Amino acid sequence: MEEQILNLFINNISQFVFWKDRNSNYLGCNNNFAHSAGYKTPEDLIGKTDYDMPWSKEEADFFRKIDKEVMDSGKPQLNFEEPQTLIDGSKRWLSTSKIPLFDDKRNVIGILGWYIDITNYKLMEFQIDKNNKTLLDYNLQLEKSKKALEIANYDLEKFTYAVSHDLKTPIRSIVSFAQLIKSNQRKNLDKNVVEYTDYIINSGHRMNTLVEDILNYARTGTSDLSPEKIRIENLLSKKLLDLDQLILSKSAEVKLDLHDDLIFCYPNLIGIVFYNLIHNGIKFNTDKKPLVICKSYESKTDWTFSISDNGIGIDPIYSKKIFEPFKRLAGANFEGSGIGLSICKRIVNIHNGDIWIENNSSSGSTFKFSISKNIS
């Protein structure tokens, strides 16, 4: 009765169970194990060895090796992983345990073993390893690309600085000599020559401004900066001091309607954006009292800022072109290199944001830009 109960239990559990003699010959097994080995009943395996089973010779050698270690040491080996080939040629992975069997005198007479099928788990593990390797390779490639980009940006900055320096030297010489000619020879120069000299001087100044703006554009980045939490109104108050002369000369007014919350950003760079947009709103303005209004809006992921003016406005067909370098739309009546908005766009991109123009018309413009709350 006890033997029948034991057999009933062994044949109805999900594990695969077997037992062998001292020579690793099979003495018995449960139904699961017999079927997996390609036999109809457990009795068909009695006297067989692992070399009679569907698994490979290498697998059979490994199984018997573990059998011997367990029987020679008299100590169990539990939950070790091993592969197994089935009769249909498919492969599976097992989590196996083996314990020694003793007689009444504590002599080892064989082993008892059991295992569970962990193939699905192993396949997931292999896929995770593969994904991790792919991710690691991607990160390594990304790191290489990042270093290459840093080197390229560094080289570009140095090149731009060198070119700018080499350009500014002859420009200064041209302007200086033209001013000397105009100053020292004014009485001897006819009206046309004076006009040509003024043209040379003014063109030299514009060229010098352009070279300086190119240098600023190339330098725009965060390599030497760290993001900080700041109050935008405090930052703008300082920037308005830099614009004080322009504001006074144009009888302009700047109104601030900003949130008092702390904002995480690169303060120096965001200051440049506000400076350029406010500066443009006053500069490109023919109203008797130029007005610029700065506002802020908050969402779950971003801060958005708007800078509105009552200036000359921008035709909607140029709403994207104005952010390209050297695109000047205002004409000869207003000085500039056409690179200021390009610098703003670069800075906003660094903050994972966007910049655009809204409600633009002949009576003014509204620039808006967003910065992400997550720029780290």
Query: What does pLDDT average to in each consecutive run of 10 residues of the chain (376 residues)?
Result: 74 88 94 91 93 92 94 93 85 92 92 91 83 81 76 67 69 78 71 77 72 64 74 89 88 91 88 90 89 93 93 78 65 54 88 85 83 84
Query: According to the CATH classification, is domain 2-117 in 3.30.450.20?
Result: yes
What are the tokens at 312? 């000359």
> Same topology for domains 2-117 and 225-376, yes or no?
no
Query: According to the CATH classification, is domain 225-376 in 3.40.980.10?
Result: no
**CA distance linking residue 298 with residue 370, whole number of Å:** 10
Count Cβ atoms within 10 A of the Cβ of residue 345 and give its class: 0-12 exposed, 13-18 middle, 19 or more buried: buried
Per-residue pLDDT tens digits for 46-86: 999 999 999 899 999 999 999 999 999 999 999 998 888 88
Contacts of residue 373, Cβ cutoff 8 Å, sequence gap at least 6: 264, 300, 301, 302, 303
Whether the CB-CB separation of 31 and 13 falls below 8 Å is answered with no
**CA distance linking residue 291 with residue 254, whole number of Å:** 6
pTM: 0.49
Name the class of domain 121-219.
Answer: mainly alpha
Residue boundaries of the structural domains of the chain: 2-117, 121-219, 225-376
Per-residue pLDDT tens digits for 277-287: 999 899 888 88
